[in-house]
Amino acid sequence: MFGLGTPELIVIGVIIFLIFGAKRLPDIGKGVGGAIREFRQVKKDLSMDEKEDKNPSLSLEEKIKDKTLDQVPGAKKAMDVKKKVEKVQEILKS
């Protein structure tokens, strides 16, 4: 694990305990666990989409963007407005 042995991990744990205290450690653990779970879920979703993807030429960034637009409320509407503004700017330049 990145060359960290048991003594190093114990020292890191003690430092974290001293900095945050016993009351905050469960909250920190829940946050880290939730983040790890979310990353695993995104990875799983992207791999599933890759298998089912009709357009395999999409890059990973485009797949993440499409997934985000589907999940974040208002993001798709904002992107549509942005595209319309760009079209209007192109028409005005002509």
Q: Which two tokens stand for residue 86?
A: 């760009």
Q: Are 69 and 75 in contact (CB under 8 A)?
A: yes
CA distance 28 to 16: 10
CA distance 91 to 64: 30
Query: With bands split at pLDDT 50, 70 and 90, how would you rate the model's confidence at 11?
Result: very high
Phi, psi angles (nearest 5°) of residue 59: -80, 170
Q: What digits encode the pLDDT tens for the residues 20-74? A: 888 888 888 888 888 889 888 888 877 776 666 555 666 778 777 777 777 777 7
Given a cut of 60, whether residue 4 has pLDDT beyond it is yes
Treating both helix axes as pointing N-terminal to C-terminal, what angle do 75-93 and 60-71 enclose, rounded to 10 degrees? Answer: 120
